[in-house]
Amino acid sequence: MGLAIDIIKRDGGRKSEKFSDEKLHASIVAACLSVRTPIGQAEAIAHAVTQSVISWLETKPEVTSHDIRRITVKHLHTHHPDAAYIYEQHRITI
């Protein structure tokens, strides 16, 4: 699934692209697995968080990639605070 939405990238450039729920889901699973969450639980958390982000995006004509990350962290934190921290810090530490 892809929502047609304008995503403003971190470099400030505008690029109209489809939001990738698969990409978001995979990155959430990876964050959960990095803190040793069982795969089934990681998949369930990723599904719930991805659905929350999609619901939030449906009312937005454009967002920044930072907005998506911020909302993802907010929802992920309610399910798994350690994974939320890893997800939030990923771009900073790499």
Residue (of 60, 61, 59, 87) closest to 74 by Cα position: 87
DSSP letter, residue 35:
T
pLDDT of residue 2: 58
Q: Could you tell me what percentage of the chain is helix, strand and coil, using 3-state DSSP and rounding each to the nearest 5?
A: 65, 20, 15
Give the residue-averaged pLDDT of 38-62: 95
Give the residue-averaged pLDDT of 3-27: 76
Whole-model pTM: value is 0.85
Q: Grade residue 64 by pLDDT with cuts at 50, 70 and 90.
A: confident
82 compared with 18, residue with greater pLDDT: 82
93 compared with 73, residue with greater pLDDT: 73
Cβ-based neighbour number of residue 47 at 10 Å: 14
Task: Tell me the angle at which helices 39-57 and 65-79 cross, rounded to the nearest 10 degrees.
Answer: 130
pLDDT at 93 over 50: no
